[in-house]
Amino acid sequence: MDLSIVIPLYNEDESLPELISWIKSVVDKMNISYEAILVDDGSRDNSWEVIVKLSSEFAFVRGIKFQRNYGKSAALHEGFKLAQGNVVITMDADLQDSPEEITELYRMISEDKLDLVSGWKQKRHDPISKTIPTKIYNWAARKMSGVYLHDFNCGLKAYNCKVTKSIEVYGEMHRYIPIMAKRAGFVKIKEKVVQHQARKYGVTKFGLERFIFGFLDLMSITFVSRFSKSPMHFFGTLGVVMFFAGMIMAAYLGFQKYCALASGEAAALVTNSPYFYFGLTLMIMGSQMFLAGFLGELISRSSSDRNHYLIEKKI
């Protein structure tokens, strides 16, 4: 199989027939074998009935239906497992991603030998309440991850099949697939300016809370990428610094009182100084941080994938 197109969807029964016809008209011209995997993420409309009908009309259409709504990451994960193509392309089902982009995305993976191509909606047909937070979020993602893409959350992406079989998309991590791919050793990542169409049917399924969750997920994937194998490097270092900062404060107060007593002056109680409580708090928090790192190290060492590495070639 040359190409797999994975399409997660939720309540998109109106757009599916038009989307599949559009995909067919584009990909048939490419003279390659292909499949379209529609992943119904617990839709409450007639999406699954439409998928069943499309699969009976078009041999390249396959479908997965979730019992309930699990989210886009889960839909992509199951779609990636089912995909058989050497090149995997993901796109949204709302017709805002143009199937006309498939030809060039496929070429960039198959001929240019890239690992991942991410779409960039340079001109967006979205309200300002969505575009401005998106720009801020993408800027933060670039700075924290070191992956320099303009649009991390664009649903239109193309992958070498090795990428989709090597990463695990979970939670809300679909936004950070390029970061996970880089972490797994797939560094040939580029982006392509793609068309962004105005929504034709239905309403958006995402609210402003996705930006809050997205930032928290970004912090999570950044931490996991750097310290999942050695949590003591983060927690232990932070704990040691905090503990010794508290020790220095306590030693300063003790030395100050010793000097006062040695000179015969009336020395104030150490507990009257706010530095005493700052120092005590830092020592307690430092000890807890060090213990957290130690426990994290024990969990990491006993993990089943502690020695799981991606091997590219072997002779």
What confidence score (pLDDT) does residue 304 get? Answer: 55
Average pLDDT over residues 28-33: 95
Lowest mean pLDDT among 199-203, 274-278, 283-287: 199-203
Model's pTM, two decimal places? Answer: 0.72
In the predicted model, is pLDDT for residue 175 greater than 60? yes
Q: How confident is the model at residue 123 (pLDDT cuts 50, 70, 90)?
A: confident
Would you say 111 and 38 are in contact if contact means Cβ atoms under 8 Å apart?
no
Least confident interval from 40-49, 180-189, 216-225: 216-225
Query: Is the pLDDT at 128 greater than 70, yes or no?
Result: no
What pLDDT is recorded for position 4? 97
Task: Decide if pLDDT at 307 tops 60.
Answer: no
Asked if residue 51 has pLDDT above 60, the reply is yes
Q: Indicate if the pLDDT at residue 47 is higher than 80.
A: yes
Q: What pLDDT is attached to residue 276?
A: 87
SS (H, E, C) the chain: CCEEEEEEECCCCCCHHHHHHHHHHHHHHHCCCEEEEEEECCCCCCHHHHHHHHHHHCCCEEEEECCCCCCHHHHHHHHHHHCCCCEEEECCCCCCECHHHHHHHHHHHHCCCCCEEEEECCCCCCCHHHHHHHHHHHHHHHHHHCCCCCCCCCCCEEEEHHHHHHCCCCCCHHHHHHHHHHHCCCCCEEEEECCECCCCCCCCCCCCHHHHHHHHHHHHHHHHHHHCCCHHHHHHHHHHHHHHHHHHHHHHHHHHHHHHHHCCCCCCCHHHCHHHHHHHHHHHHHHHHHHHHHHHHHHHHCCCCCCCCCCCCCC
More confident residue, 192 or 184: 192
Q: How far apart are the C-alpha atoms of 103 and 122, rounded to whole Å?
A: 19
If we measure between CA atoms, which residue out of 100, 123, 118, 133 comes closest to residue 206? Answer: 133
206-264 pLDDT per residue, tens: 555 566 666 666 666 666 666 666 778 788 888 999 999 999 998 988 888 888 888 87
Q: What is the pLDDT of residue 115?
A: 96
The confidence score (pLDDT) of residue 156 equals 94
Structure-token match 């010794």, residue found: 244
At 231 the pLDDT is 76
Confidence of residue 130 (pLDDT cuts 50, 70, 90): low
Average pLDDT over residues 262-288: 85
pLDDT of 309 over the 70 cut: no
